[in-house]
């Protein structure tokens, strides 16, 4: 069994999805932390490795949730030529698009939504929602379809 799983690139042009490079995520973020030498939780909280590890953790948690969800979706990542990116793009049937950006921070601001805004522009009317998952506790609206939510929403029952 492989310890890595690719996350394909999303593009509004379906043909370009096969050309763009996938992101590679380690299946076990705990193993990834260990391999990077981040065994101490307090040190990891201050480490620049926290962001990428948290992103990997969220991607794998969402993949697990998609495995049993009645609402199917295909996971991707998104990156523009200018470097704007979204950590996780979910494309549901009917090409409805939602984006998830992961921030290893207790606060968020307008700038944290730049990748989601670029995704919304690329997806057009198929874009339904963008979410920044962060380490804070508040649910904050930044626009009609852009929200900052605590990462703990992943484990809340609907």
pLDDT digits (tens, 9 = 90+) for 55-112: 989 999 999 888 887 778 999 999 988 889 999 999 998 889 999 999 999 999 999 9
What per-residue confidence (pLDDT) applies to 52? 87
Q: Is residue 137's pLDDT more than 90?
A: yes
CATH architecture of 4-155: 3-Layer(aba) Sandwich (3.40)
- What Å distances lie between residue 56 and 16, 36, 128, 153, CA to CA? 24, 13, 23, 17
Q: Yes or no: say if 58 and 133 are a contact pair by the CB < 8 Å rule.
A: yes
- Cut 0.95: pTM above it: no
Q: What is the pLDDT of residue 14?
A: 62
Domain positions in the chain = 4-155
Whether residue 34 is predicted with pLDDT greater than 90 in this model: the reply is no
């Amino acid at each position: 069994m492989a310890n890595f799983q690719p996350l394909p690139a999303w593009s509004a042009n379906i043909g370009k999805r096969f050309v763009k490079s996938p992101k590679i995520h380690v299946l076990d973020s705990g193993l990834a932390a260990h391999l990077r030498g981040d065994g101490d939780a307090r040190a990891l909280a201050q480490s620049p490795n926290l962001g990428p590890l948290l992103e990997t953790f969220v991607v794998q948690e969402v993949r697990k949730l998609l495995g049993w969800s009645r609402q199917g979706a295909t996971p991707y990542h998104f990156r523009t030529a200018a470097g704007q990116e979204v950590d996780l793009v979910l494309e549901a049937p009917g090409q409805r698009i939602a984006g998830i950006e992961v921030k290893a921070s207790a606060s968020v601001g307008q700038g944290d939504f730049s990748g989601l805004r670029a995704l919304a522009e690329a997806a057009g009317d198929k874009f339904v929602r963008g979410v920044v998952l962060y380490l804070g506790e508040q649910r904050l609206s930044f626009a009609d379809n852009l929200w900052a939510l605590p990462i703990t929403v992943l484990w809340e029952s609907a």
